[in-house]
Amino acid sequence: MPHLTIQVTPNVSIAHEESLLKSLNKVLWDSGQFKQQTDIKARILPIQTFLVGVEDDEQANGFIYAHLKMMTGRDIAVRNQLAELLVATIENQLSAAQSGRSALQICVEVEEISAVYHKKCLVNSISNQYLPWALPLLVF
């Protein structure tokens, strides 16, 4: 944890997706809120079908929706700070590439999830066996 999922409409231009993800992960890491760099996981999911408003048939409006999920324990001020950092980073990364293409909305949601619903299992990729200190994956 945390997990950052970015959803992007096709009319939003991201020149280098990996660079955007790296910048977002770095700003999260630099916040000092997370224990290990490798705990931060990010992905971009393209959206094919979307509508902004009621009558945007020309798709003149686009958006980026960033959803940050993390474990509980941070107060509202910290969660707001993380949201603001993500918005600023996205804005800085996309301002030149997006210029004049479409109206862009940047939305960030920060969600806490309970440890009750979060399970983590690390698998040694070399031998494909569970690491001795990792909890076994629970299957329901």
pLDDT tens digits for range 43-76: 999 899 888 888 877 888 889 999 999 999 899 9
Mean pLDDT of the chain: 83
pLDDT value of residue 4: 97
Model confidence at 96, pLDDT cuts 50, 70, 90, reads: low
The tens digit of pLDDT for each residue in 99-108 reads 566 788 999 9
Bigger pLDDT: 120 or 67?
67
Residue 138 — pLDDT band, cuts 50, 70, 90? very low
* Per-residue pLDDT at 103: 82
Going by C-alpha positions, the residue among 77, 70, 79, 80 that lies closest to residue 34 is 70
DSSP letters of 106-135?
A: EEEEEEEE-GGG-----EETTTTEE-TTSP
93: burial class by Cβ within 10 Å (0-12, 13-18, 19+)?
buried
Query: Is a pLDDT exceeding 80 seen at residue 13?
Result: yes
Instruction: Give the burial class of 127: count Cβ atoms within 10 A of its Cβ; 0-12 exposed, 13-18 middle, 19 or more buried.
Output: exposed
The confidence score (pLDDT) of residue 121 equals 64
- Average pLDDT for residues 125-136, to the nearest whole number? 50
**Contact, 6 vs 41, CB < 8 A?**
no
Q: If residue 77 lies in a helix (H) or strand (E), which one and from where to where?
A: helix 76-98
- Global confidence as pTM: 0.79
Residue 6 pLDDT > 50: yes
